[in-house]
């Protein structure tokens, strides 16, 4: 989609193409208008700003704080890579579209995005291009006026040099449109955030006679942390937002949608509408595409599974370490009061980093959608989750709380101290905009199960089911099965005196040259 704008009295041709990665500016335009130009540390490969352009290297760019783009009431700071754009002056690609959560409809030549609470609609030039038309090049004010009278679409645009200033507040975009049978309503961001979730599970817990009186008082003060669903789109958290970094040269993996039964199609339609209404997904034109299917859960409901394996294969792995359950347990000896919290759909409480949503695209019968929150099934989801909850709970870690992914355990020696500790942890959750699934929580207990262990004032021991699983393990038939058994048995080695001596005959069988019998 292309359109024309005015830049300091000069007609400027802008091209929007969400399939391209970068934003480009004509090098001659930048130099002739005195815009600040910086050089890359070394030349960067450029596959061509436009289709058909040869691959070449670029070495200059206009920094993000070097110029301001104004289109009608929209204004923003944009970084541009300098190259030869032929008849175009500015080229806005996937980076611009993703950073502003825009939705592009090529057939209608329309681009939607939100700005300061308003929905902005840009209409592209629908008139056919002519090779020698005056509208393709610079023109005087008189010539421009004449073209407007003829019906040519013109828009006011200013591009001015500015000094470095604080970045403008990010604007979010939840595009709503009708896709097939899935009705997506065109509500604003504010309307989505005003969606009031029910608190049915909270009311059930509060009505329970077994709830400790101290816990009841704390829950009254923190009701908003225990909704039945995540009430709004999570906030941006900077470097903690979920990033998807692809291996160099990786191609966008894309597959057609799976064939689903009538029941599954109805469930797909229902879940798509729910996710769109909550602002978690949006329609997409991404070249990526993962198919989806459904798994029936024990309670009879369906869980949507998106096959991200091809994407995961080309994703650079996150090396953030996972905590060791045994080390976490060491801080619990001698503690008498416990409160266990379970974060509600924790993966969906993380935002996708700006510019990465299109990589999460999944294909359905009603078109392609992409995630604004972290979906299930993507590589690096666990490290990203643990990083967020670790930083959120950092002030209390090792003092009164341990965390493992979406599980939080608050522990204390005395009841009075436990009241203070639980309030502290809930305050940290509120400060980080995290929500809790109350029906999976335990409040003010003297014994609890956590990460496969039973914990009480007497100490820590493995759960009975875990021990029975190891006790009733079938005899290994080969070295591979023996390795699996030893790995499982190693989980309880701290609770078995002389474990190494007992397991010695089995570990010797793993040595090279030993024959398995």
Q: Which residue has the tokens 């955030």?
A: 193
- 236 and 361 in a common domain: yes
Domain at 266, CATH number = 3.10.10.10
Cα separation, 67 vs 63, whole angstroms? 8
What is the full DSSP assignment across 62-90? E-TTSEEEEETTEEEE--EEEE--TT-SE
Residue 179 lies in a domain: no
Q: What is the reported pLDDT for 288?
A: 94
Residue 45 belongs to what domain range?
Answer: 2-161
What lies within 8 Å, CB to CB, of 44 at 6+ separation is 57, 58, 59, 81
Residue 167 lies in a domain: no
- 492 and 428 in a common domain: no
What is the full DSSP assignment across 231-253? -SPPPP-GGGSB--PBPTTPPPP
Residue 432 lies in a domain: yes
Region of 198 (left: φ > 0; alpha: ψ -120 to 50; beta: rest) is beta
pTM: 0.58
- 148 and 210 in a common domain: no
- 271 and 141 in a common domain: no
Helix, strand or coil for residue 229?
Answer: coil
- Among residues 288, 313, 309, 449, the alpha carbon closest in space to that of 371 is found at 288
Which of 418, 444, 459 is the C-terminal boundary of a domain? 459
- DSSP code of residue 280: S
Q: Which two tokens stand for residue 142?
A: 């008189």
- Among residues 56, 20, 53, 25, the alpha carbon closest in space to that of 38 is found at 25
Residue 471 lies in a domain: yes
Tens-digit pLDDT profile for residues 376-408: 999 999 999 999 999 999 999 988 999 988 899
- 387 and 323 in a common domain: yes
- 202 and 102 in a common domain: no
- 208 and 94 in a common domain: no
Domain count, the chain: 3
Determine contact, residues 368/285, Cβ cutoff 8 Å.
yes
Low-confidence ranges of the chain (pLDDT < 70): 1-11, 17-21, 40-57, 64-66, 72-73, 86-87, 94-96, 98-109, 114-119, 124-138, 141, 148-197, 326, 512-517
At what angle are helices 415-431 and 381-393 packed, to 10 degrees? 120
Cα separation, 350 vs 241, whole angstroms? 6
Domain at 71, CATH number = 2.40.70.10
Helix, strand or coil for residue 343?
Answer: strand
Residue 53 lies in a domain: yes
- 133 and 8 in a common domain: yes
* Complete edge-to-edge strand list for the sheet that includes strand 453-456: 447-450, 453-456, 459-462
- 452 and 474 in a common domain: no
**Residue ranges with strand state E in 144-284:** 155-161, 178-179, 182-183, 281-283
Residue 381 lies in a domain: yes
Cα separation, 494 vs 401, whole angstroms? 22
- 424 and 276 in a common domain: yes
Q: Are strands 182-183 and 407-412 parallel, antiparallel or unpaired?
A: unpaired
Q: What is the reported pLDDT for 476?
A: 81
- 368 and 248 in a common domain: yes
Q: What is the reported pLDDT for 488?
A: 79
Cα–Cα distances (Å) from 328 to 29, 35, 426, 429, in that order, read 59, 55, 20, 20
Q: What is the reported pLDDT for 134?
A: 47
Cα–Cα distances (Å) from 498 to 494, 495, 502, in that order, read 9, 9, 6
Q: How many CB atoms lie within 10 A of CB 423?
A: 15
- Among residues 442, 441, 444, 443, the alpha carbon closest in space to that of 415 is found at 444
Q: Which residue has the tokens 């029910």?
A: 198
- 239 and 211 in a common domain: yes
Cα separation, 69 vs 280, whole angstroms? 29
Q: What is the reported pLDDT for 466?
A: 76
Q: What is the reported pLDDT for 331?
A: 78
Q: Which residue has the tokens 């008189």?
A: 142
What lies within 8 Å, CB to CB, of 446 at 6+ separation is 336, 337, 338, 456, 457
Residue 168 lies in a domain: no
Residue 364 lies in a domain: yes
């Amino acid at each position: 989609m292309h359109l024309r704008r005015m830049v300091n009295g000069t007609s400027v041709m802008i091209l929007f193409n969400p399939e391209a990665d970068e934003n480009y500016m004509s090098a001659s335009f930048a130099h002739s208008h005195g815009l600040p130009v910086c050089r890359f540390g070394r030349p960067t490969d450029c596959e061509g700003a436009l289709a058909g352009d040869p691959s070449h290297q670029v070495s200059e760019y206009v920094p993000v704080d070097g110029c301001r783009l104004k289109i009608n009431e929209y204004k923003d700071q944009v970084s541009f890579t300098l190259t030869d754009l032929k008849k175009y002056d500015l080229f806005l690609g996937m980076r611009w579209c993703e950073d502003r959560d825009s939705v592009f409809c090529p057939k209608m030549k329309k681009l939607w995005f939100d700005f300061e609470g308003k929905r902005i609609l840009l209409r592209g030039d629908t008139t056919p291009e002519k090779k020698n038309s005056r509208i393709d090049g610079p023109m005087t004010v008189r010539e421009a006026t004449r073209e407007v009278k003829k019906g040519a679409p013109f828009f006011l645009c200013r591009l001015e040099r500015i000094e470095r200033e604080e970045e403008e507040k990010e604007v979010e975009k939840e595009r709503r449109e009708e896709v097939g049978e899935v009705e997506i309503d065109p509500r604003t961001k504010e309307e989505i955030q005003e969606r009031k979730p029910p608190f049915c599970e909270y009311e059930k817990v509060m009505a329970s006679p077994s709830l400790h009186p101290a816990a009841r008082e704390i829950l009254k003060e923190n009701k908003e942390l225990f909704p039945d669903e995540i009430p709004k789109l999570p906030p941006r958290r900077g470097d903690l937002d979920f990033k998807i970094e692809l291996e160099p040269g990786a191609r966008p993996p894309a597959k057609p949608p799976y064939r689903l039964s009538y029941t599954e199609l109805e469930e797909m339609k229902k879940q798509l509408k729910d996710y769109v209404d909550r602002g978690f997904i949006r329609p997409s034109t991404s070249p990526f595409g993962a198919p989806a299917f459904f798994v029936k859960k024990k309670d009879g409901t369906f869980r949507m599974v998106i096959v991200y394996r091809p994407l995961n294969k080309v994703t650079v792995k996150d090396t953030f370490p996972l905590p060791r359950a045994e080390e976490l347990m060491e801080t619990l000896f001698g503690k008498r009061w416990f409160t266990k919290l379970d974060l509600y759909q924790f993966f969906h409480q993380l935002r996708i980093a700006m510019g990465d949503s299109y990589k999460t695209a999944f294909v359905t019968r009603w078109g392609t959608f992409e995630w604004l929150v972290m979906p299930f099934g993507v590589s690096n989801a666990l490290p990203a989750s643990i990083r967020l909850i670790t930083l959120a709970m950092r002030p209390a870690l090792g003092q009164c709380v341990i965390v493992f992914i979406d599980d939080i355990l608050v522990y204390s020696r005395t009841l009075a101290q436990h009241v203070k500790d639980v309030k502290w942890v809930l305050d940290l959750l509120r400060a980080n905009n995290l929500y809790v699934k109350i029906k999976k929580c335990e409040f003010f207990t003297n014994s609890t199960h956590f990460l496969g262990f039973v914990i009480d004032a007497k100490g820590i021991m493995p759960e009975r089911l875990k021990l029975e699983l190891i006790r009733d393990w079938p005899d290994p038939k080969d070295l591979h099965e023996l390795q699996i058994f030893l790995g499982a048995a190693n989980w309880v080695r701290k609770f078995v005196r002389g474990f190494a001596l007992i397991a010695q005959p089995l570990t010797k069988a793993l040595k090279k040259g030993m024959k398995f019998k």
